[in-house]
Structure 1
């Protein structure tokens, strides 16, 4: 398993979609943000703009999943940062930041299969294993971290579970929609640390 580069980054899960609201598994299915999700993305952008002004780990660029729920969240956050005193940040996409492929479970309710999938005990028919997701996500995050400055990665919930696993943290922790996270690498004997802003 590849190791994550020990560099800081910001992480933002996309805003809410109708499938999120209904408790359905999205995976690679490209579901748009709903009105709540659009509002959440604007709020997240405002929070990031505040921290930009505070000088707390300023964002150098944005790297997003190409799925529309993430990319639109990234665009709204960028626009909010620019409108409140920050620069208009460049957005690039990385196809390896797409959400996990859940195969036959996409569009179905999240259910008893999810925990065994994270544990590596099963993979939905036509889907991607948790280990495959972790390897793909680690490679994509390392590409984002290899550039200059601190990136904001705009992505997905299952992907962050995989990245938590790569950071040596408990994987199966739910991530709220559009809540910015500041992630700092191991230092002075401590492990990776995640701070949530809301």
Structure 2
């Protein structure tokens, strides 16, 4: 019998100016804005309420600027050394290829037929110019999840959270691809269930 997976406290990075403008960030390295920094503090406070022994948790982040900033503010809020955490390349956001930096409105105007294909099947569609689909992202994320050995705080991205929910909780692909992934909150994944705090 497979041992239960450790509890995951997933935190999406705080807001960036591109989030505010509705731009596809993907793997473009955009820093947090002032709202995003406040959201990182909020997530830290919520985590303290959820996990009384925050010093015993593992802390792993995507190596992008917005996730590292979020992790360091969160750890400072918890009274922990801000830079004592690990980075994992597998946690980077999926790439939107040549669409990165565009809004969905701009994508629909520039490439209506391709935008329609993605709307029909968000999970399996890979944008042009080397983009990734959620299905491809799952293949990258699964080994990370399988390798967790203790309760872990993960700071990463919206697409990564959707992949986590599909793998760990069995959320169906259509639903997972469209779920809202909130900033400034904690997505707690325990066994096959999840909840937002």
Smaller-chain TM-score bracket: 0.7 to 0.9
Aligned length: 179
Distance verdict in 2 for CA 1:102–1:5, change over 3 Å: farther
Is 1:69 aligned to residue 53 of structure 2? no
Distance 2:56 2:15 in 1: 23
Gaps of 5+ in 2: 109-114
What is the Cα-based RMSD across aligned positions, in Å? 2.3
Q: In the alignment, which residue of structure 1 is the partner of 2:24?
A: 25
Is 1:134 aligned to residue 138 of structure 2? yes
What secondary structure sits across from 1:118 in the alignment?
A: coil
What secondary structure sits across from 2:51 in the alignment?
A: helix
2:99 equivalent among 95, 105, 117 = 105
Confirm or deny: 8 A CA contact 1:4 1:141 kept in the other structure.
no
Q: In the alignment, which residue of structure 2 is the partner of 1:47?
A: 46
Q: In the alignment, which residue of structure 2 is the partner of 1:124?
A: 127
Q: In the alignment, which residue of structure 1 is the partner of 2:165?
A: 164
Distance 2:56 2:121 in 1: 33
Structure (1 or 2) with the greater helix fraction: 2
CA shift, 1:159, in A, is 1.1
Q: In the alignment, which residue of structure 2 is the partner of 1:188?
A: none
> What are the within-5 Å matches in structure 2 for residues 173-188 of structure 1?
173-185=179-191
Q: Output the TM-score relative to the length of structure 1.
A: 0.81
Q: In the alignment, which residue of structure 2 is the partner of 1:189?
A: none
What secondary structure sits across from 2:194 in the alignment?
A: strand
Please say which of residues 98-107 and 172-181 is displaced more in the overlay: 172-181
Distance 1:19 1:39 in 2: 16
What secondary structure sits across from 1:25 in the alignment?
A: coil
CA shift, 1:150, in A, is 0.7
